[in-house]
Structure 1
Amino acid sequence: MPGKDLAAVVGRGLIRRRELSILVVCVAAGIYFAATGSGFTSTENYHTIAQFVAPWIIIGAGEVMLLICGQIDLSAGFVFTLTPFILTSFTDDGMPLLLAIICAVLVSSLVGVVNGLIHTVFNLASFIVTLGMAFFLEGMSLIASDAQPEAAPASGWVAHAFGLSRWSELIWALVIVAVMQALLTTTRFGVNTQAVGSNPTGSAESGIRINRIKIVNFALCSGLAGLGGILDGIRVGSFDPTNGGNETMFLAVASAVIGGTALLGGSGTILGALLGALLLGIVYDGFNLTGVNANAFDVVLGIAIIAAMLLNVYLGKLRGRVGR
């Protein structure tokens, strides 16, 4: 029957494309809060959700690449915090804003290079390396800012392009997702990243320079975190040493995991991280509109991460059966 055939096609699509399952959950959550929360479907509320999710998407895109190759960066949230103050140090010396942004992002990428080198040269777990780097960067942020917020650039086309315009931060996030998804799925670097995460020994024996792949991905993650910090700070209008940190990093990682990226490496999707962040943003915003205690968000987040991992394992087995 046509109805059963359509259901079978949709079912196979949900199994093969891990993004589709989280998309269905996003749509269902949006419909629920639109029906129960006053003002959910307004343009202003959509902008509020965009403000929530854009930093998680940007950092999450870098975390996906690291998770796929079997690593993680716990310092990304503090790169997010520190980079705006690196930017102000450049502009205070008279550097043009656009050049200062480029240099600040390059400096943030160097943090990732250092993480990658320590991990690969000394064979230390990335969890430990980036945990130590997180504490170091947190202290540097407080020293660089004297523990006080600083005014962000508030005029000129560069400031408008890098966060001051109403939707610019979300546009940057979507562009980054498109570029990183293409990098992951259509380039040799992306294929090698997946190979390193799924079979590092075999990758090394086949000639893939696994250490170089890891270091580049660490640099990408830190660079994106730095750019995200600049965009978010300019949007808000100030650079705050308490912004970002562990909360932003964990929400970015949660977005990646909920979106279908395996914590053990070998598989993942940038588009899934976008949808994972969107789901978290919808839930967080929906709770606020419906008057649910904000503390309950952490409960839902914990359940969502565990459920996402269980679902990923189950769908992985189904994909294997469908493939055969």
Structure 2
Amino acid sequence: MSLINTPFGFASTAAEVAAGIDLTGRRAVVTGASSGLGVETARALAGTGAEVTLAVRDTEAGERAAKDIVATTGNTALQVAPLDLTDPASIAAFTAAWAGPLHILVANAGVMACPERHTTQGWEWQFTTNHLGHFALATGLHPALAADGAARIVLVSSSGHLLSPVVFDDIHFAFRPYDPWLAYGQSKTANVLFAVEATRRWAGDGITANALMPGAIYTDLQRHTGGRGSGTVPPELIKTPEQGAATSVLLATSPLLAGIGGRYFADCNETETIDRRADAPRLHGVARYALDPEGAKRLWTLSETLLATAEGLS
């Protein structure tokens, strides 16, 4: 299976990737769209004529972002909806309120290397925000995605997935000392595994899912790391938010990705599979464990079980 290559690369912006694409009449949801990569992803999608819903925790910030997007694109088909990915009830309310088909779901919201914290269900915060909440959102919106017939799910992962596989025996750090970077790593691995299994499981509905590394960008994501991420990225590899959103927009809109799913991209191109972190070229490379079909199935089953347990307690 050959890697997907595109005319775009490291310096490409979201607007450049979306140029010439007409998504008038199509509908998209972008989580975490009130700032950073999310707002630039939503802006580029709005620029194609799509109807875009900004799914955000802070609706006031979301409204400000929506007004800015309308002002810069001229597209008034912007909605803002409350969504807390750590709260199953909030996710259920969002999915219950959705009516009609959905063409694009961009799972962009996330947290990185935050202090130890658990939800009321006892779930580790990063795993819940970055994976489990998006899993619940996507499965809840499955009928809408299936109604489109060629819907796409875009999962914003990270090269941080190389820090850890999903540790199925202790996902919530009940028995091992909490490490913010290991917790982040396994949550980002979970994003890739979800793309693999969603593409397999929902192939009959025409739904595809792909994961990506957006690049190193200084956004509010780094609020727990002093604003510099891991601190190991050289300045020449730092992207602007507009550049960081490019790969998300490519996966969401490009005809080159029609029918393609279960893959991992960086700098607007599919990246190679590696077996050692040391083999990753700069910020590229996807760990073989993140693409493992059996691991993807196991994660899906576990995610369903966790959410069913939460429903039983409500």
TM-score (norm 1): 0.26
* Higher-Rg member (1/2): 1
Q: Would you tell me which structure has more strand in proportion to its own residues?
A: 2
Q: Would you tell me which structure has more helix in proportion to its own residues?
A: 1
TM-score (norm 2): 0.27
